[in-house]
Chain A
Amino acid sequence: MKRLDARFSIDYPGFHFDVAFTVPLEGTTAVFGSSGSGKTTLLRCIAGLIRVPSGFLQFDQAVWQDDAQGIFLPVEQRRVGVVFQEARLFPHLTVTQNLKYGMKRSNPSLRRIDFAHVSELLELESLFERRVSNLSGGEQQRVAIGRALLASPQLLLMDEPLAFLDQQRKKEILPFIQRLNRELRIPVLYVSHDLQEILPLANHVVLLKEGKVAATGSIQEVFSRLDLPGLVESNVVGAILETRIMEHEPQFGLTRVEFLGQSLFLPQQALPPGAPLRVQILSRDVSLVVGGPPATSSALNTLEATIVEVRNSPGDQYAVEVKLDVGCPLLAMITRKSFYQLRLRPGQKVHASFKAVALS
């Protein structure tokens, strides 16, 4: 498998940046960390926009930077697409000219992405005749993504591309980025401090903390690790559910939401009834019941589920991960003992009880 191998180290006043990691060049790798953790610095190093004095960067077989040997490939020769926080479209060019700027400069024999496909993927046709200054923030960012893709990059770097967009626009753009992943086989490095952006997107995670790599691996591995201090709920993310708020039950401090025609309860939310709410279930919070719904249980949320797949937890030898289908995938992490006692197998019908947490 192709890999990106990076080692960068630099001392800024009051900030020591020292990262080293290897990630596979497939799917989306999220570079995740709070602001000031060095995410953007890392991305700019990989793009070749800054050169730290002692760095090493290898893309598959190609060495892009090796200061031990004085190698530094300039940014324009790396064939990396960069999508910045601001769209950075060229105001003196039309949307179409912007889109074709990188394409015209790419080697025709290395072009892998055609104009029509990108236009369709990002729904750009209606924007061709528009002036760049008249595009909304979300439209500008779609054009910027298209412009980067049309240069046929071997790696797409996205530096918090949704940071300057409001929630509505974020929701508008995220599906496009998800489609890129599925339809174009370009490895993506996606920088964000926002777990909400990363959870639906990322396959791999490089977790940065104060200029150092705190963890790296697949998203399941990284978020199943319990030994990561200061990280958001560091359990495996079991599922992300799109729900709608039905009603509040203030006497119990609960809010009832609807998910695929069924009711779920979570701690009371501030949003009004009818508002959409994205809910996260952590796999540690899921327990399984075999043999009909529990007649009496303290668990508020119970869904019928079919076992899809069973595997050992990569992070915990006494835990078993069970992939369930409840209308969407749901991951449960249970003890090995429970797994043997319940005799779980793929295809089996069970009931999943869990605690749900609001994401927004």
Chain B
Amino acid sequence: MTVPDMDWSPLWLTMQLAGVTVIVLLLVGTPIAWWLAFTRSRFRTLVEAVVALPIVLPPTVLGFYLLTALGPHGLIGGAWKDLTGSALSFTFSGLVIASAFYSLPFVVQPLHGAFEAVGKKPLEAAWSLGASKLDAFFTVASPMAVRGYLSAVVLGFAHTLGEFGVVLMVGGNIPGVTKVLSIAIYDHVEVLEYTQAHFLSAVLLIFSFLVLTIVYTANRRLPIHVS
């Protein structure tokens, strides 16, 4: 079988989307996870529920709300337009924001669990040794939570790779801009281009398998065991 004349841009776009989304989610998700792990606020359970919503909501429902919010008159899209002068819907940036909501629990939950496992005790020890709160976070809490970070990155990345419904609702199907892998495969199947669909699917399958294997191996060898 020869490699057919194929458009590889969906693959590249998907990797970019997943990568950027994970970075955004680490920046946003870490403080949320930290707050959830250590707060005594009565709003904790409420925030926990909101974070977990994307797990249970059908992607089309989430996508529908995000489409509304990201639109030029929406809550996020409107603010974005005031700020940058351009619209969010059917753009790569819009896709990143939508993916971030979609994959939020997959980053926040492992981090939340990891920070809870670290607990206050090592932090108190670090503070008493003269470390500021930020210093203790970077030199004690984060290294001790390294397995949580690994899970968060992998799950966030993998979950964004396979995203379909939300992207379709929010991003549409613009080649090179919002046409990600899962949608490209769907398109190929629609027009009976099974060879191309096979190739893209196989790439995604092998890639996912490799990443997960590497991560689980690395995770097993990590020296940190937080009980």
Proximity string of chain B (102-140) to chain A, C-beta cutoff 8 Å, 1 when within and 0 when not: 000000000000000000011011111111110100011
Are B130 and A151 interface neighbours, CB within 8 A?
yes
A105 contacts B by Cβ under 8 Å = yes
Roughly how many angstroms separate A101 CA and B139 CA in the complex, as a whole number?
Answer: 10
- Interface window among B73-81, B182-190, B219-227: B219-227
Roughly how many angstroms separate A205 CA and B224 CA in the complex, as a whole number?
Answer: 41
Roughly how many angstroms separate A82 CA and B124 CA in the complex, as a whole number?
Answer: 9
Roughly how many angstroms separate A201 CA and B135 CA in the complex, as a whole number?
Answer: 35
Are B130 and A49 interface neighbours, CB within 8 A?
no
Roughly how many angstroms separate A148 CA and B128 CA in the complex, as a whole number?
Answer: 8
Q: Is the interface of B mostly helix, strand, loop or mixed?
A: helix
- Which residues of chain B come closer than 8 Å to A74, judged between CB atoms? 127
Are A101 and B126 interface neighbours, CB within 8 A?
yes
Roughly how many angstroms separate A235 CA and B128 CA in the complex, as a whole number?
Answer: 37
Roughly how many angstroms separate A90 CA and B143 CA in the complex, as a whole number?
Answer: 10
A281 contacts B by Cβ under 8 Å = no
Roughly how many angstroms separate A151 CA and B198 CA in the complex, as a whole number?
Answer: 62
Task: Tell me which of B124, B129, B144, B224 has the highest count of chain A C-beta atoms within 10 A of its own C-beta.
Answer: B129
- A to B contact number (C-beta, < 8 Å): 63
Roughly how many angstroms separate A74 CA and B126 CA in the complex, as a whole number?
Answer: 13
Chain A interface size band reads 20 to 34
Are A75 and B128 interface neighbours, CB within 8 A?
yes
Nearest chain B CB to A346's CB is how many angstroms away? Answer: 46
Proximity string of chain A (79-93) to chain B, C-beta cutoff 8 Å, 1 when within and 0 when not: 111101010101110
- Which residues of chain A come closer than 8 Å to B146, judged between CB atoms? 92
Roughly how many angstroms separate A11 CA and B219 CA in the complex, as a whole number?
Answer: 46
Tally of B interface residues using CB under 8 Å: 22
A348 contacts B by Cβ under 8 Å = no
Roughly how many angstroms separate A92 CA and B223 CA in the complex, as a whole number?
Answer: 7
Are B226 and A76 interface neighbours, CB within 8 A?
no
Nearest chain B CB to A207's CB is how many angstroms away? Answer: 25
Nearest chain A CB to B123's CB is how many angstroms away? Answer: 9
Roughly how many angstroms separate A47 CA and B128 CA in the complex, as a whole number?
Answer: 8
Roughly how many angstroms separate A148 CA and B127 CA in the complex, as a whole number?
Answer: 11
Proximity string of chain B (142-185) to chain A, C-beta cutoff 8 Å, 1 when within and 0 when not: 01101000000000000000000000000000000000000000
Roughly how many angstroms separate A49 CA and B136 CA in the complex, as a whole number?
Answer: 14
Are B131 and A91 interface neighbours, CB within 8 A?
no
Are B144 and A76 interface neighbours, CB within 8 A?
no
Q: Which residue of A lies closest to B118 (CB)?
A: A91
Please provide the chain A residues from 139 to 191 with a CB less than 8 Å away from any CB of chain B in the complex: 147-148, 151
With A86-B121, A105-B135 in contact, is A91–B128 under 8 Å at CB? no
Are B121 and A84 interface neighbours, CB within 8 A?
yes
Q: Interface residues, chain A, CB within 8 Å of chain B?
A: 47, 49, 74-76, 79-82, 84, 86, 88, 90-92, 101-102, 105-106, 133, 147-148, 151
Report the 3 A-B pairs with minimum CB-CB distance, sorted nearest first: A102-B129, A105-B130, A82-B128
